[in-house]
Structure 1
Amino acid sequence: MNKGVAKKAISGVAAAGAAAMLLTGMAACGQSTAANKKTSDGKPIVTILVQQNTNQINIKDMTWAKQLEEESGAKIEWKTVLDTAWGQQKNASLAANDIADLNIRAYHPDDAAQNPSAFEDLTDDIDKMPNVKKFFEEKPVAKKFVDVDGKVYTLPSDRGKGFAASGQHMMINKTWLDKLGLKVPTTWDELTKVLEAFKTQDPNGNGKADEIPMNLRALPTDTLAGWWSPFLFLNSTGIATHYNSGPSQQGYYVENGKVGNVMQTEQFRQVLDYLATLTKEGLAPKDWVTTDKYDSRNQVGGNVAQVGVVFGWDQTAFGAVGSDLYNQYISMAVPSAPGVSADKTVWDASGISGSNEFEDYHMAMSANAANKDACLKIINLLYSEKYSVQQLWGSIDDGYLKKTGEHSYERTEKFQKAADAGKSPTLEDRLAGWIPDDITIKGDSGSDSVTAVDEANKQQYENIGGEKNYFPIYVRLGSEDQTTVANNNTTIFTTVLPLIAKMAQNGADDATWKNLQDQLKSLNIQQNIDIWQKAYDKYVK
């Protein structure tokens, strides 16, 4: 889910050797000579690489993919690679300049910017892709997201307005609140009292002291924060995070157009102290900083919940949509920190920045594709409504998706059964396509659920005050600046994360806090702040 700073491609003789070995496993997915790029009956051959998940059936077995081949007039050679293997194989493919004709969810704009001769600049071809052109016209943020100094080497995906929500939410067990006669807390003090009641008053009713008042996700070991981080409490202090992706994960934030790093703020110290208080008082697991039990503690099954409050995607943190545990929880606005008024309390900006609706690496075309017009025709078809909806929700002819009217669809029970069996018949969030705002879908429990939980934060989104207080998704660094920031971040986090973990458990005493600040200054954090300020000013101001 994270789109971190891109790594440099492998280079040199040794890398080329490694690339050759790795690419054997990719079944020679890249370029072919012009002579063998036509079938015996003259059809253009187009190779398409797709990064897939283990819970999806192979794309070549999806009916819509077979229909795409027929409608395009090309012979499509589908090559799939699993997420778990692609990270290493991607570097090898770049080093060997062995790029498939088309690539779905494989190469980021930064990969292409560092290897521009390997990829087609699609701005030159926009008139041959009217669906993509219309996409960019209706969603200008999508084009800005992938525009690198006037060039577009990759196309984004758009899962539709149903995912114009943050992937980060705070959820509380409403069944427990009702049983104990408590209200949803609106301040840290109120939250602490609720958590104390969850700990001592047996809200799950099983006669055991097995309740976990607040289940916190472990801190990462290579960056400051990520999905469902305990540092979402920074929003309680008025600093807006956006932890789906981007520089916020490394602590960089914007306030009134000025970039800083949260690790240097008193608000961060305040959050560390609060997390330590929860830990010391037994309101959060004592091992939360390093545990791998976050998910298992949430999903205990049955109807006896173990957890009171979490940060997560939605209620599916506890079980499938409609399950007993799912139904016990509601989303809540983040409580305000001491000294912070409700109108200054904000929430994670991932949804309003677009980082949950869009991803920036869902279609890339080789600069050396032999059948360029055939490739462009396929891209245009993929970004049509007909193929976008089937990529996301399943093939119509197979009964996974039903067309119910103009621009309206229903995902069927057949799809859900296949997905529950670990054999999803779609690309889902990996689609190379665009779901326009006028499309409506019934039965997409994922988008319905995340849209519903996002309602609790509606006012807090307004409190953010727009792009002057967060990084829009289209703010990006140049290649040289990426390298500088990445190198600095590696040194910074190797040094300071142990200090931060200690303070999250024990509190931010003066000596440890001063040590953190001294280390940050000595490790070039100001250089990184200046670089991100330059990028923010370039794209936003």
Structure 2
Amino acid sequence: MGTHSKSRLAKKWPLLLLSAVMVMGMAGCSGNKEKADAPAETGDFNKEGLPIVNEPVTLKVLTVRWGSMGDTFTQNQWLKDLEKNTNVKIDWQVMSSNDWAEQKSILLASGTLPDVVVGDQTFSDSDIVNNLSYFRPLDEYIDQYMPNLKAAMEETPEMKKISTFPDGKIYSLPTRLPSRPKSSRQPVINKAWLDKLGLKTPDTLDDLYNVMKAFKDKDPNGNGKADEIPYIEVSNDFISPFGITDLNSNNMLVKDGKAVYYPTSEEYKEGLKWEDKLYSEGLLDKELFTQDATMISAKFQNPDAPIVGLSYQWTPDAVFGKWSEQYETIPPVAGPDGKRYTIGNPIGMNLARNELLITTSCKNPEVAARWADQFYTNEASIQNFWGAIGTVLKKNDDSTYTLMDPPAGTSADAWYWDQSLRDFGPKYVSPSFEKKIVLSPNSGDGLKLQLDKLGSDYVTTPFPNVMYTSEEFQELPTLTTDIDSYVTTMRAQFITKGGIDEGWDAYVKKLNDMGLEKLLKIRTDAYARYMNVK
């Protein structure tokens, strides 16, 4: 989804200044001091139209970028034009994610923040909920000064749901990214092996079992060795045919409108039995529970011959190196109930909160709100996701938009991060406008949208990205650390040693003894709050 490109640019991130200097430098709202505290009705502030202010005002805006990316995005032509057209000057404070954890603690301890915070990797839910006095409730500002965002929330109500905190107020602004798929990872199979063995693409679990058996026994890579590994990872993707579709990795599902903890469910139990059967017959990697990501990557890219039969990936070219062309994405396999399930989100993999906060240190919140609202138009959003029109995007005579080719020697993804806020910051692209964005079907975002058609009809509604209270945040880690760890340990044991039917009741009892009921109450309370947002 783009955020995998964490350490792109050759530009070396300079060492941050002494913490105290940084904190002082990021404090407060600058500009004309007499006017800073002046009420909006002085005539300097315009409630609508541009410029936002007649006399220039400077806002200090903090954002965090991956690794050594630096601040080249600030030269985005749309951002430069915005400054000119609004009279709102931006003093960008760009931090590196490498140093941010320590700097964040210092900043929150100081209590003096910049005016605006951009990007959801700057402050997490718990950072905000535990420091609410630093951030302004934005409901009235949205109502009075943010018509673009208000319209977006009416068209896509989930924008409001994910942004509403447990006290019913909105403290952070959401995003809806353009041209995102509905499905997450999809099944990817070695098509060359299928063809060589005269096998059809598997359609059911029985088909998949027979294909995996053939992959193991019939030397499809032709090197005379029994080195083929039909499947090498433990993942929820692999048991998704059983209806286990956990997008946010919190062991929760939504079934018939209810929040369900699936590691104690009958479907999960059946999924474990399936994995146990495959493991006992050597169809899953024998190093399933002992290998790390580096070892898995080495197997995907085994130098002499491809050795992995099946995987779940964003796109088929994601991990297989020189063997990529042998792999293709296939539709989801039907489960025991005859249905197909794909992990993802029916409204798209494109919603997030905490993309913009206005702090209580800001003396011109109405200016900041009107400035933020400029980001919520379709054209603003695509320019802050890929790059400016005329630089990265081309606006065609028929009102469609195409992406230009990146400079030689640069990948498209790296170029977009260099030229825009990309995944971070406020955006809204209307579903109807997405039809005007023309992407190449052969790579990147466009390829994923093509492949998405195979599984998008089967995407399930995930347990949403709910919000927790300060008290819930205190209790959650204590409960999830032990419970999640036990679920993981027992999954490994059940798959490698069996005994699922015999050991199931004791497994469930132990989870209950560890406080599962309390954990479920926290999750379901948060879910109820989320669903009740109007």
Tell me the TM-score normalised to structure 2 length.
0.81
Range with bigger deviation, 388-397 or 285-294 = 285-294
Change (3 A) 1:233 1:494: closer
Unaligned runs of 5+ in 1: 2-19, 218-229
Preserved CA contact (<8 Å) 2:175 2:425: yes
2:288 pairs with 1:288: yes
The counterpart of 1:238, out of the listed 236, 243, 251, is: 243
Secondary structure in structure 1 of the residue aligned to 2:401: strand
Range with bigger deviation, 204-213 or 125-134 = 204-213
Q: Which residue in 2 is equivalent to 1:221?
A: none
Paired with 2:27 and 2:188, the residues of 1 have a C-alpha distance of 46
Preserved CA contact (<8 Å) 2:355 2:426: yes
2:117 pairs with 1:103: yes
Q: Which residue in 1 is equivalent to 2:59?
A: 46
Paired with 2:182 and 2:24, the residues of 1 have a C-alpha distance of 38
Paired with 1:503 and 1:68, the residues of 2 have a C-alpha distance of 58
The alpha-carbon deviation at position 111 of structure 1 amounts to 3.5
Q: Which residue in 2 is equivalent to 1:529?
A: 520
Paired with 1:49 and 1:448, the residues of 2 have a C-alpha distance of 31
Which whole-Å deviations, capped at 9, do the CAs of 1:26-57 have from their partners, x for residues lacking one?
78334357777999x96311111122124745
Preserved CA contact (<8 Å) 1:46 1:77: yes
Which whole-Å deviations, capped at 9, do the CAs of 1:98-140 have from their partners, x for residues lacking one?
3221111123455433322211222111231222122212211
Q: Percent identity?
A: 26
Change (3 A) 1:495 1:301: same
Paired with 1:362 and 1:260, the residues of 2 have a C-alpha distance of 29
Q: Which residue in 1 is equivalent to 2:489?
A: 498
The alpha-carbon deviation at position 520 of structure 1 amounts to 0.3
The alpha-carbon deviation at position 210 of structure 1 amounts to 3.6
Corresponding pairs, count: 488
The alpha-carbon deviation at position 300 of structure 1 amounts to 5.2
Letter in 2 for 1:242: D
Q: Which residue in 2 is equivalent to 1:196?
A: 213
Change (3 A) 1:109 1:63: same
Q: Which residue in 1 is equivalent to 2:341?
A: 346
The alpha-carbon deviation at position 333 of structure 1 amounts to 0.7
Q: Which residue in 2 is equivalent to 1:488?
A: 479
Change (3 A) 1:234 1:540: farther
Secondary structure in structure 2 of the residue aligned to 1:362: strand
Letter in 1 for 2:271: V
Preserved CA contact (<8 Å) 2:61 2:118: yes
Which whole-Å deviations, capped at 9, do the CAs of 1:68-115 have from their partners, x for residues lacking one?
322231221111123333344334433322322111112345543332
Q: Which residue in 2 is equivalent to 1:443?
A: 439
Q: Which residue in 2 is equivalent to 1:68?
A: 82
Change (3 A) 1:417 1:501: same
Q: Which residue in 2 is equivalent to 1:454?
A: 452
The alpha-carbon deviation at position 153 of structure 1 amounts to 0.9
Paired with 1:26 and 1:53, the residues of 2 have a C-alpha distance of 20
Change (3 A) 1:38 1:78: farther
Change (3 A) 1:536 1:377: closer
Q: Which residue in 2 is equivalent to 1:121?
A: 137
Q: Which residue in 1 is equivalent to 2:508?
A: 517
Alignment of 1:277-356 (within 5 A): 277-291=277-291, 292=293, 293-299=295-301, 305-318=306-319, 325-326=324-325, 328-336=327-335, 340-343=336-339, 345-348=340-343, 350-352=344-346, 354=348, 356=349
Change (3 A) 1:381 1:300: farther
Preserved CA contact (<8 Å) 2:190 2:309: yes
Letter in 2 for 1:157: T
Paired with 1:24 and 1:232, the residues of 2 have a C-alpha distance of 47
Secondary structure in structure 2 of the residue aligned to 1:268: helix
Paired with 1:61 and 1:353, the residues of 2 have a C-alpha distance of 32
Q: Which residue in 1 is equivalent to 2:169?
A: 151
2:443 pairs with 1:426: no
Secondary structure in structure 2 of the residue aligned to 1:157: strand
2:21 pairs with 1:29: no
Range with bigger deviation, 59-68 or 97-106 = 59-68
Change (3 A) 1:501 1:538: same
Change (3 A) 1:231 1:324: closer
Paired with 1:36 and 1:305, the residues of 2 have a C-alpha distance of 66
The alpha-carbon deviation at position 313 of structure 1 amounts to 1.6
Q: Which residue in 2 is equivalent to 1:12?
A: none
Preserved CA contact (<8 Å) 1:26 1:79: no
Secondary structure in structure 2 of the residue aligned to 1:260: strand
Preserved CA contact (<8 Å) 2:269 2:500: no
The alpha-carbon deviation at position 203 of structure 1 amounts to 2.4
Paired with 1:357 and 1:76, the residues of 2 have a C-alpha distance of 27
Q: Which residue in 1 is equivalent to 2:250?
A: 250
The alpha-carbon deviation at position 193 of structure 1 amounts to 1.3
Report the RMSD for the aligned CA atoms in angstroms: 3.3
Alignment of 1:362-401 (within 5 A): 362-398=355-391, 400-401=392-393
